[in-house]
Amino acid sequence: MYRSNGNYEAFAKPMKPEGVDNKSAYIVGSGLAGLAAATFLIRDGQMKGEKIHVLEELALPGGSMDGIWNEQKGYIIRGGREMEPHFETLWDLFRSIPSLENPDVSVLDEFYWLNKKDPSFSHGRVIQEQGKELPTEGQLTLTPKAVKELIDLVMTPEKDLGDKKINEVFSEEFLNSNFWLYWSTMFAFEPWASAMEMRRYLMRFCHHIDSLSNLSSLRFTKYNQYESLIQPMIKFLEDKGVQFTYNTHVNNIKVDTSNGSKVATEIDMTTDGKDNTVALTEDDLVFVTNGSITESTTYGDKTHPAPTEHELGSSWELWENLAKQDKAFGNPDVFCKNIPEANWTISGTITLTDDEVMPYIEKISQKDPHSGSIVTSGPVSIKDSNWLYGYSISRQKHFKRQKDNEIVVWVYGLFSDKPGNFVNKKITECTGDELCEEWLYHIGVPVDKIKDIAENHANTIPAHMPYITSYFMPRKVEDRPLVVPEGSKNLAFIGNFAETERDTVFTTEYSVRTAMEAVYTLLNVDRGVPEVFGSAFDVRTLLRAIYYLDGKQKIEDIKLPFKERLVEKKVMEKVQGTYIEELLKDAHLL
C-alpha cells in the first residue's frame, strides 16, 4: 500500500489483484468502516460480492452512523457527522455509490449539488444569557501566550505527547479563549482529552481556523446519516451479492503469531444465540472493527432518564481477546476503562410537534426551520451552560417519514458532572422532558412556558453513550493497533481505533481511510490511497491561520519587543515587491 495525491491515480482503475478469485473476506462490524471495506474489496479489489461476509452484532447495519424511527419512542439520532471537501477517501468511496433517489448519479453527486445550492453558514454559533449572541462572536480572543502554546504543541513530535492531556499543555488563558470554545464544541474535545489528538486536529484542520465561528467549511447530508449514506451503501452491496449476518457477536478471532507472522485461523461467534466457528486460511481476509463509541448505548424516554448501567460490549470484548494474543493488537483498556465521570455521555433527540418554539430558533439561527435549508449549520454552543450544552438542527425533514409539522433537534452536553442551570440535576439524571426544558431555557423561552412545551409540544429521547468520547482518551502511540499489524497475512483493523498516520479520529474520513488502507494492503491493490490533505504544509493556509489567530491584525499592528520590531522592519524591506509580499497581502497580513 502506498499513498498518492492529485487526480492521476484518483481517476485510475487498478489492475485486478493477483489471486483475488481464490480469496474471501469476513468483515466484523457493519459501520461505515466495514461497509467501506466491502465496497473497496468489490470496486478496487474486484472480489466477487458473494465471497464477502459482514458480521454485525445489531439487528441492522450502520454502527454509529444512525438515525431511526422507533415505534415505541419516536425519532432517535445519537449524533451527526460534520464533513468537509478534503475528506479525500470518503468522496473517493461515495463517487461509486448510486443515489437511492436517482440511481443515474452518485451519492457524491447529489451531496455536492445540495451543498452548492444550500451552503453551510452559522448565524448563531455561540449564545449565552438565554439566547443572546456572544458579544465577542467571531473573535478567537487568543492571547500571545495562548498562540505560543498552540505553536509549541504543533512543533512537538507526536512521540513526545504520550498520555499527555490538553490541560497539561495549555494554560487557563488558552482554555478561556473563544478559540477553545469553538474548537472543543465543534470537535467534542474535553480539557482532559489527548494532547496528541489535539495536535493532529490542529495540523489536519488548520484550513478551518478562519471559519470556526461560522462553520462555512462544513458539508451536510440531505437526511440523517443513516438514510443518506448507509442505506445507499447497503443496497449497492446487497445488489453485488454481499452476505450480511445480523445479531452476531464475534467473541474471538484466533491468530497464529508464530514464526514472526500473524495469521487469523478461526472466528468464534454467536448468531441468534447459537455458537459457530469458521476455520480460516491465509486466503480468508479478516477486517475487524475494534471498539465502538456507541457500544452499550441505553435509551430513556420523556419521563425516564437513560440507564447508566451497561455491559462492556461485544466490540470491546473482542478487542480485549485479540489484545491478549499479541501486543501489536493494541491496548483497549486505555479507551474503554477509567473514563472521567465529567465526560460527555448524554445526547438527546427532541422532536417538536408544532411551531411553538420556532420564533426562538429563528431569532438565533436567522433561518426558518421549515424552509428545507440547513438551520444551524452545525452546533450552537451555550457558553454559560453548566453542561456546556449545545444543539444542532439539520435540514428538515431530517427523516424521510417526518411529518410537515415536526422539527428534529439534537442536543448534547460535554460536561456530565454538574447540575443544569434550569434543571437542578446532572445531565445523566435527566428525563427526556428535563433535557428539553434545559434547552428551552437556554434558547430564551419564557420560564412560565417551558414545562408545558416540554411535556405537551415535544418528545425527547435521551441516549446514554458510555464510550462516545473514548477516541480522545490520552494514549501512547502503540495503544491503537496499526491498520495492518507488522507481519499480518490476513488480519486488519479498521475504524477509528485503528492507527493510521496524520489523520484524525471521530471523523467519517478516518473510518473510510482505514478501510481503504486495509483492503489495499491485504490484496496488494496497485493504486494509491489518497494522502491526508496537507493543509499544515501549505504556506498560504499557514499565513491565513496566523492572521486569524492574531485577531485579524496586520503585521505592522502586532505588538513586538523593540529588537524584534527592528528585525521585522528589515525583513519587510527585503520582501517588498516580491512574491512573498503578494502572499502576505493575500493572507491579509499586509
Catalytic residues: 82, 201
**For 60, which DSSP code?**
S
Contact, 205 vs 504, CB < 8 A?
Answer: yes
* 552-561, long-range: CB < 8 A, 24+ apart: 552/588, 554/588, 554/589, 554/590, 555/584, 555/589, 555/590
H helix or E strand, kind and range, residue 183? helix 178-187
SS3 64: coil
Asked if residues 588 and 547 have their Cβ atoms less than 8 Å apart, the reply is yes
C-alpha cell belonging to residue 550: 492574531
Close Cβ partners of 125 (under 8 Å, ≥ 6 residues apart)? 134, 137, 182, 212, 213, 214, 215, 378, 379, 380, 381
Do the strands 389-392 and 298-299 form a parallel or antiparallel pair, or are they unpaired?
A: unpaired
- Based on the number of CB atoms within 10 Å of its own CB, is 492 exposed (0-12), middle (13-18) or buried (19 or more)? buried
438: part of which helix (H) or strand (E)? helix 432-442
C-alpha cell at 118: 444550500
The answer to whether 188 and 507 have CB atoms below 8 angstroms apart is no
Q: How far apart are CA 418 and CA 335, in angstroms?
A: 23
Q: Which of 143, 139, 192, 127 is nearest to 163 (CA)?
A: 192
Distance CA 145, CA 543 (A): 19
Cell of 431: 428525563
Q: Strands of 263-271's sheet, edge to edge? A: 248-256, 263-271, 274-279
Q: Residue 552 gets which letter from DSSP?
A: S
**What b-and-e string marks burial along 77-93, b requiring 16 or more CB atoms within 10 Å of the CB?**
bbbbbbbbebbbbbbbb
Return the H-helix or E-strand segment holding 117. Answer: helix 107-117
CB-based contact 421:386 (threshold 8 Å)? yes
524: left (phi over 0), alpha (psi -120 to 50) or beta: left
